[in-house]
Amino acid sequence: MILRRDETGIPPAVLVAALIALLAATAAAADPAAGGESAAVATDSTAAPAAVPYGPGELLVFSIDYGPVNAGEASLEVGDVVDSGGHPCYPVESKATSNRFFSAFYLVRDKVITHIDIRTLATRYFSKRLREGDYRKNVAIRYDQEAGKARHLDGRDEDVPPGVQDILSAFYFVRTLPLEPGKPALVTTHSSRKTYDLEVVVHGRERITVPAGTFDCIVVQPVIQGEGLFQFEGDLTIWLSDDARRLPVLMKTKVKVGAIDASLKSFRPGRPLNPEVRP
């Protein structure tokens, strides 16, 4: 991971307080049976919501730790269904906040939002507001899936394939998939004005304990391509609960000076719109 430094030369380890949002750029996958491509977008307005393991009200809270030192907290929350460009969507919000100690050196206040179509699970809208030390960045994209366009806030349009994901919706997409060890998966993702396939290697199963409890997990490792929320060059391993919920339980990345962990410390189940999935 390439960590920006402040003017004192101190590595801003608190950047990892946004690791959850980074995960969205890297933990993406698609059903291998689909030939490594995102599914085509259905336009039937009468179709039932897709079966997913999350729903309105779900809240995941993570502790971000740099070795033995706590750097901050991150959260992922699914809100009530909203209309996004004429399509009913799950609004998902990711927040990352540095704690009081680390904020004295490097303040982080990041917010990332996606609108996930409840029927197709493709992205309809994406925005991110990054506040990291002196760094500032605002991005907003409206995805016209039917026209195959990513319409950026600055007025530029870019071609995208049907069913394309943004860096946060991709994470929720992977939670819907039947991941199996030895079967890599792909998803087509658009971020930073680039469209590329991301691959997830599924390693195996493991039982781990985090502040939220003990979980049987499936272990995955994304193969990084393109830019996520941060520049990244290293090994990222993710433990997802090996049940219908597919909760992100632990994320661990190795850097030159140690390791960074994002551990689930509490969660609140959501209310799935489709009764086929009941966490």
Domain ranges of the chain: 13-268
Beta strands at 194-210 and 258-268: parallel, antiparallel or unpaired: unpaired
> E strands within 154-193?
157-159, 185-191
118: Cβ contacts below 8 Å, ≥ 6 apart: 49, 50, 81, 88, 89, 90, 273
Structure-token pair, residue 163: 């069913």
* Angstrom distance (rounded) from CA 212 to CA 127: 29
- The residue among 273 and 3 whose pLDDT is bigger is 273
> What average pLDDT score do residues 97-118 get?
88
DSSP tag of 18: G
Q: Please say whether the beta carbons of 225 and 196 come within 8 A.
A: yes
Q: How far is CA 76 from the centre of its chain?
A: 9
Q: How far is CA 171 from the centre of its chain?
A: 4
Tens digits of per-residue pLDDT, 17-35?
Answer: 334 333 333 333 333 333 3
Output the average pLDDT for the chain: 78
- The residue among 271 and 198 whose pLDDT is bigger is 271
Alpha carbon separation from 68 to 99, 215, 271 (Å, rounded): 14, 22, 35
> What average pLDDT score do residues 53-74 get?
91
pLDDT winner (highest mean) among 17-21, 203-207, 236-240? 203-207
130: Cβ contacts below 8 Å, ≥ 6 apart: 18, 110, 136, 137, 138, 229
Helix, strand, coil in percent for the chain, rounding step 5: 10, 45, 45
Please report, rounded to a whole number, the percentage of residues in the chain having pLDDT higher than 70.
77
pLDDT band, residue 269 (cuts 50/70/90): very high
> What average pLDDT score do residues 116-125 get?
96
Residue 16's pLDDT is 39
Residue 146's pLDDT is 95
Q: Please count the CA atoms within 13 angstroms of the CA of 262 that sit on its side-chain side.
A: 31
Which residue from 20, 22, 26, 6 is spatially nearest to 73, judged by alpha carbons? 20
Tokens 């394939």 — which residue?
Answer: 161
Residue 82's pLDDT is 96
